[in-house]
Amino acid sequence: MEILTKIKQPESRKLEFKERFPEKSDILKTIIAFSNGAGGDLIIGVSDKERDVVGIKNPLELEEKISNMINDSIHPQIVPYIYSMNIEGKVILVIQVLPGNTTPYFLKSKGLEKGVYIRIGSSNRLANIEIIAELRRKSLGVSYDYNIDRTLTINDFDSKSIGKFFNKIGVSNHTYRDIIKWKFINQNNGDIFPTIAGLILFGKEHLFDYEYAGVRVTKFKNNTLADIESTKDFYLPIISNVENIFIYVLSLIGKESVLSGVERIEQTIIPPYAVRETIVNAIVHRDYSIKSNIKINIFSDRIEIISPGILYGNIDIADLGSGLSECRNRNIVRVFRKMNFMEELGTGIYRIIELYKNKNLQNPEFYEQGNYFRVTLPQIKMAVSKEEIILEIIKSKQEVSASLLAKELNYHHNTILKYLHKLLEENKVIKMGKGKSSRYKINQSHQVL
């Protein structure tokens, strides 16, 4: 039974539990958030922590009360499917909400500016002005990147980059008609202005108002934000910088030595495809109405890619890797696909997960944080022993002290020394120096695939 399966699942963007009938405002916020997002089920009569079915009393009365509340308090009108179910003698109430077509939905008592709620993870959040605007565009079927910028002209395009694009697609001598056809410019009252997509893809490097559309790559010395090793910014035109960003990030991440035939070669721990796919996804799916750049943070044990905007439309975290996909920036996606920077929509995350499994790496993580989407690509393998965990840390840092390992793993110093002694006996690591200044590194001659 589907509902029994759902009861065992954790709360999420599409699922919430209430042990008893909640405060009026709480239930309405959840229903609004579901309607403004991917839809969802609110189940009353199940404890949200233990998932015990406790049941409710007077389900028919409660159903009518909720229906009246929704009708009286929410605009535009929402008509959820409300039904009761008997589970082992206890009745629960299920409120099934579909994704809305006339977003944004809001509380009438608070109005549009202060009454719109969205779902982030398993919580309801008050929507800000940027999200409200995106919800309006969604209901109208309008992509933000099609909008025009009346403050700039076609002269603000980088002619070399736009020329390369048209040459790539077989148009050697492009005209205004070609640029309009691709919606890089648009007419408004007889005048021609560049679109947001055109400026992001082909805008000149130092367009002040579009610096937020770039990518900042920061390398940190260890596993925290405490010590910055280097920072580099990539600006417009973004289409010309995709490969540069990819190559630069690859140069900064951890490497490992592997055998290829009889030769030993060096390659990145993280599959290059995973790096490229997450960078491309961040660029094409981010919310460009939020004036903040994409951040790629590189640590000794992972990469974090943080892009403005939560998942778009009806997509939930649980849907990633399932083949489902929705486009926030349709024109930017269209160009990236034409340039062969993207494969079939919805297939990239699945392939990343499979590549991670094949390399026995710790699972990539995807989650929403505030109004941002974060992808974490670990560069540490799944460990089956304490020694393997230590080996992976030594590989990622190249050389370490016993005290640093003890601090990082929260082990006693003598425990770390015991594991290191075993690794030394197995010739998997090499010890350099004596006493407190001792350092340990991987014995390259003993490394295997």
Query: d(Cα 198, Cα 210) in Å, to the nearest integer?
Result: 12
pLDDT (0 to 100) of residue 230: 97
Q: What are the structure tokens assigned to 266, written together?
A: 């060096």
Least-confidence region, from 344-348, 357-361, 377-381: 344-348
Residue bearing tokens 């002040």: 208
Rounded-to-10 torsion of CA 164, 169, 172, 176? -90
15-18 and 40-44 as β-strands: parallel, antiparallel, unpaired?
Answer: parallel
Residue 448's pLDDT is 45
Poorest-pLDDT segment among 12-16, 185-189, 341-345: 341-345
Q: Are strands 215-220 and 294-298 parallel, antiparallel or unpaired?
A: parallel
- Residue 244 to residue 301: CA distance in whole angstroms: 23
| Phi-psi map region of 445: left, alpha, beta (phi>0 left; psi -120 to 50 alpha) | alpha
Q: Which of 159, 71, 160 is nearest to 108 (CA)?
A: 71
Q: Which residues pair with 308 in a beta bridge?
A: 372
Which tokens is 373 given? 């989407």
Burial of 438 (0-12, 13-18, 19+ CB in 10 A): middle
Using CA atoms, how far apart are residues 7 and 425, in angstroms rounded to an integer?
Answer: 51
So what CATH class is 2-140?
alpha beta
CB 210 within 8 A of CB 200: yes
Q: What percent of the chain has pLDDT over 70?
A: 96
Work out whether strand 439-442 and strand 399-400 pair parallel, antiparallel, or are unpaired: antiparallel
Which of these, 196, 197, 195, 232, lies nearest to 217 by C-alpha position?
232
Q: What is the DSSP string of 163-182?
A: HHHHHHTT-SS--HHHHHHT
Query: Alpha carbon 129 to chain centroid distance?
Result: 21
Angle separating helix axes 413-425 and 402-409, nearest 10 degrees: 120
Mean predicted lDDT score pLDDT of the chain: 90
Among 29-38, 249-258, 344-353, 364-373, which is the least confidently predicted range? 344-353
> What is the domain partition of the chain in residue ranges?
2-140, 144-208, 212-378, 386-446
Indicate the residue type of 250: L
Check residue 449 and give its pLDDT: 36
pLDDT value, residue 387: 83
pLDDT at 50: 80
Residues 292, 212: contact at Cβ < 8 Å? Answer: yes
Q: Which CATH class is domain 212-378?
A: alpha beta
Average pLDDT over residues 412-432: 89
| CA R_g for the chain | 26
Strands 439-442 and 123-126, by their bridges, are: unpaired
Please give the CATH architecture assigned to the domain spanning 386-446.
Orthogonal Bundle (1.10)
As a residue count, the chain comes to 449
pLDDT of 248 higher than 50 = yes
Rounded-to-5 percentages of helix, strand, coil across the chain = 40, 25, 35
Does 130 have pLDDT greater than 50? yes
- 378-to-57, 386, 389 alpha-carbon distances in Å: 48, 18, 13
